[in-house]
Amino acid sequence: MVFVVLSAGCVTAPERIEVNVGSRPPPVDSSRVPHPATLEEAQQELDKAYQNLQYLEQDNAKLKRKAEEAKRQRDEYKQRLKKYEKD
């Protein structure tokens, strides 16, 4: 999200917007890992895991699009500021 402050002709925006920040996620808490007793239970758990993965991939794509839009807006405001300072 980009915040623009217009005060007496001043426009500010973050210099950089980081996407995909951070390193590897922490290890899985093994106490939360299901231990199915049957193949059917295991398949149900696997289905849930894939549904969660799909949701997270979609959410990640949405956040990436928002970050790209924020970068575009930041660059646009930088251009406006340069033009304003020129005049």
What gap in Å lies between CA 14 and CA 21, rounded to an integer? 16
This prediction's pTM: 0.56
Coil, helix or strand at residue 7 = strand
Position 16 scores a pLDDT of: 72
Tens digits of per-residue pLDDT, 24-56? 778 878 888 889 999 999 999 999 999 999 999
Alpha-carbon distances of 45 from 42, 51, 75, rounded to whole Å: 5, 10, 45
Position 5 scores a pLDDT of: 46
Q: Say whether pLDDT at 19 is over 80.
A: no
